[in-house]
Amino acid sequence: MSDGKNGGSSEAAPDASIDLRGVKCPFNFVKTKLKLETMDSGQTLVVVLDPGEPIANVPRSVQEEGHALLKTTPRPDGLYEILVRKA
């Protein structure tokens, strides 16, 4: 139950995470998809992505696969984190 605001202590920790910095398209989506396949429906995954093509393509692709994109967060180091809930 998120109201879209950051910093809420009611947010549960993600069930898994994967760091894909430096991984080129389309391999970053393939690795994300493979990770999601090992998870149960309703579990959440944090994916760390580079700017550019990865942050443009991976969120769209996971949504096209039917998963929910819960949040996209830019990081101070120039990378991005997306939070995905497995369908």
Active-site entry in 25, 39, 70, 79? 25
Which among 86, 85, 81 has a CA at the least distance from the CA of 55? 81
CA–CA separation, 80 vs 39, rounded Å? 22
25 tagged catalytic = yes
Q: Do residues 33 and 5 lie in contact, with contact meaning Cβ atoms separated by under 8 Å?
A: no
Catalytic sites, residue numbers: 25
